[in-house]
Amino acid sequence: MKTEKTVTPKVKKSFFDKFKFRNWGVVRVYRDFENYFDWKRVIDEQKADPKSNYNKWKLEHTKLYDIYATVTIDESYAALPEAIQRTQLVEMLNPLHRYLDDDLGFAECLNCEFNQFVDEKDKPTLSYLIVYRFNFEKFSVSWVVKSLIKLGILIYVAFHFSALITWLSTSI
């Protein structure tokens, strides 16, 4: 029997795509921060509204506006395998995911983390800490380092050639 490989087509990018203003790194970092400040504003608005789903889910946020909640699955799932317990957890969180996606519109900007609590004997419990962190697409430490290196090279070349141009213009 012959197995077929599924090949995902690569998206062809034009050579000139990198020259479009919207694709520049600085513009994408600006959009990251713009989305982040929108995220902060929306979370503050939702927190202030007592009837919002934010308060219904008893969500909290950190200083960096990572939102989190503690969720406990039913005791009836304690004897079941861990995979089924996690499936139950994901099913319980579907309304929260829909709220973050459909109502707030931030699903593509968030990363979800599941952390299971353990008791004093290092035994896993049925309680989980669910954390949603804002995801910056372009902004990162490596982007900052690369930008500083490029800026340093540009400044070095500008000063180096400005001295050469000044020397040439005075000798003529």
CATH number for the domain including 40? 3.30.980
Contacts of 131 (CB under 8 A, 6+ apart): 66, 67, 68, 112, 113, 115
- Residues 6 or more apart from 53 whose CB is under 8 A from it? 46, 95, 96, 99, 103
- Is pLDDT at 6 greater than 80 in this prediction? no
Q: Are 23 and 17 in contact (CB under 8 A)?
A: yes
Domain membership flag for residue 4: no
Predicted confidence (pLDDT) per residue in 109-130, tens digit? 888 888 888 888 888 888 889 9
pLDDT number for residue 125: 86
Q: What is the CA 104 to chain-centroid distance, rounded?
A: 15
- Compute the average pLDDT of residues 148-168: 82
Examine the domain organization and report whether 146 and 63 are in the same domain: no
Nearest in space to 98 (alpha carbons), one of 110, 88, 82, 114: 110
* pLDDT number for residue 61: 92
- Angle among Cα 63, 118, 58 to the nearest 5 degrees reads 40
Same-domain pairing of 87 and 74: yes
Residues 130, 148 within the same domain: no
- Across 57-66, average pLDDT: 90
Model-level pTM?
0.71
Per-residue pLDDT band for 138 (boundaries 50, 70, 90) equals confident
Q: Are residues 63 and 128 in the same domain?
A: yes
pLDDT for the residue 44: 94
Range of the domain at 155: 140-172
Residue 46: predicted pLDDT: 92
Residue 103 sits in the same domain as residue 62: yes
pLDDT band at 38 (very low <50, low <70, confident <90, very high): very high
- C-alpha distances in Å from residue 137, one per residue of 8, 35, 38, 39: 23, 10, 15, 14
| pLDDT at position 1 over 50 | no
As a 3-state breakdown, the chain gives helix, strand, coil percent values, each rounded to 5, of 55, 15, 30
